[in-house]
A and B are shown apart, each in its own frame.
Chain A
Amino acid sequence: MSNQFDIDNVSKLASIELEETEKNKLSQDLSIILEHVQAISNLEFDISVDEVFIHPLEKQLNLQEDVVEEFLTHEEALSNAPESKDGKFIVPPSME
Chain B
Amino acid sequence: MQYNPTIGIETHVELKTNSKMFCRCKVVDTEEPNVSLCPTCLGLPGALPVPNKKAIEFITLLALSTNCKITKQGMFHRKNYFYPDLPKNYQISQFDLPVGINGSLKIVLNDQEAEVAIERVHMEEDTGKSTHMGTGRIDSATSTALDFNRSGVPLVEIVTKPVLKTSLEAVAYIEELRQLVLDLGISEGKLEKGNLRFDANISVANSESDVLGTKVEIKNMNSLRSLERAIDYEIERQIKALNNGEIIAQETRHWDEGKEVTKPMRSKEGSADYRYFSDPDIPNMVLDEEFVNIIKSKMPKLPYQKRLELMQTGLSIGEANILSKSNDWIVKLFHDVYSTTKNSSSTYNWITGELQGQMRKVEINELPSWFKADSLSEIINLIESNKISFSSGKVILAALLVKNVTPYDVAKEQNLFQENDSEKILQIVKNVITENSEVVVRIKNGEDKLIGFLVGLIIKSSGGSINPSIAKDLLSKELEE
Q: Of B17, B37, B39, B146, which one neighbours A91 at CB under 8 angstroms?
A: B146
Q: Which chain B residues have a beta carbon within 8 Å of chain A's beta carbons?
A: 17-19, 23-26, 32-35, 37-39, 42, 50-56, 73, 75, 80, 82-84, 97, 130-134, 138-139, 141-148, 265-266, 268-271, 273, 275, 278, 280, 282-286
**Cα distance, A58 to B284, chains bound together (Å):** 8
Q: Does A94 contact B (CB under 8 A)?
A: yes
Q: Does A68 contact B (CB under 8 A)?
A: yes
The A interface, classified by DSSP as helix, strand, loop or mixed, is loop
Q: Could you say which residues of chain B place their CB within 8 Å of the CB of A91?
A: 84, 143-144, 146
Residue in A9, A61, A68, A87 whose beta carbon sits within 8 Å of that of B51 in the complex: A61
- Chain A 1-40 interface 0/1 with B at a Cβ cutoff of 8 Å (1 = within): 0000000010011010000000000000000000000000
CB A16 to nearest CB in B, in angstroms, measures 11
Structural contact, B52 and A64, CB atoms closer than 8 A = yes
B contact residues around A83 at 8 Å (CB): 143
Q: Mark A24-67, 1 if CB is under 8 A from B, else 0.
A: 00000000000000000000000000000011111111111111
> B24 — which chain A residues lie within 8 A by C-beta?
64, 67-69, 71
Give chain A residues whose Cβ lies under 8 Å from the Cβ of B54. 65-66
Bound-complex Cα distance A55 to B453 (A): 86
A15 and B26 alpha carbons, distance in the complex (Å): 32
Which of A56-96 touch B at CB < 8 Å?
A: 56-72, 74, 77-78, 83, 85-96
Q: Complex formed: what's the CA distance from A54 to B278 in Å?
A: 9
**Of B23, B268, B283, B285, which is in contact with the most chain A CB atoms at under 10 Å from its CB?**
B283
Q: Which residues of A contact B75 (CB under 8 A)?
A: 54-55
- Identify which of B25, B132, B271, B284 contacts A71 (C-beta below 8 A): B25
Neighbour of B18 across the interface among A54, A66, A89, CB < 8 A: A66
Q: Is the CB of A88 within 8 A of B33?
A: yes
A67–B53 alpha-carbon span in the complex (Å)? 10
Report the bound CA distance from A92 to B34 in whole Å.
18
Query: Can you list 8 pairs linking A and B with CB atoms under 8 Å apart?
Result: A13-B80, A55-B283, A63-B50, A63-B56, A68-B24, A71-B39, A72-B42, A88-B34
> Which of B38, B51, B265, B280 meets A72, CB within 8 Å?
B38
Q: Which of chain A's residues has its CB closest to B35's CB?
A: A74
Which of chain B's residues have a CB closer than 8 A to the CB of A15? 82, 269-270
| Bound-state Cα–Cα, A51 to B32, Å | 51
CB pair A54 B269 closer than 8 Å: no
Instruction: Assess the B278–A55 pair: CB atoms within 8 A.
Output: yes
Question: Known pairs A13-B270, A72-B42. 6 more at Cβ < 8 A?
Answer: A56-B278, A60-B286, A61-B284, A63-B56, A87-B34, A92-B144
- Which residues of B sit under 8 angstroms from A56, Cβ to Cβ? 278, 280
Contact B37 A71 (CB under 8 A): yes
Given A91-B84, A92-B144, A94-B130, CB of A66 within 8 Å of CB of B37: no
Chain A residues whose CB sits within 8 angstroms of the CB of B283 once the complex forms? 55, 57-61
Contact B130 A87 (CB under 8 A): no
Q: Kindly state the separation between the CA atoms of A87 and B97 in the bound complex, as whole angstroms.
A: 38
Interchain CB contact under 8 A, B53 and A66: yes
User: How far apart are the CA atoms of A66 and B148 in the complex, in Å?
Assistant: 19
Which chain A positions have C-beta within 8 A of B145?
85-86, 88-90
Asked if B144 contacts A90 (CB within 8 A), the reply is yes
Chain A residues within an 8 Å CB radius of B32? 87
A77-B34 CB under 8 A given contacts A12-B270, A62-B50, A68-B19: yes
Residues from chain A with a CB closer than 8 A to the CB of B266 are 95-96
Q: A77-B37, A93-B132, A93-B134 are in contact. Are A57 and B143 (CB under 8 A)?
A: no
Residues in A with CB closer than 8 Å to B37 are: 71-72, 74, 77
Contacts of A71 in B (CB 8 A): 23-25, 37-39
Q: Which A residues are CB-close (under 8 A) to B139?
A: 95
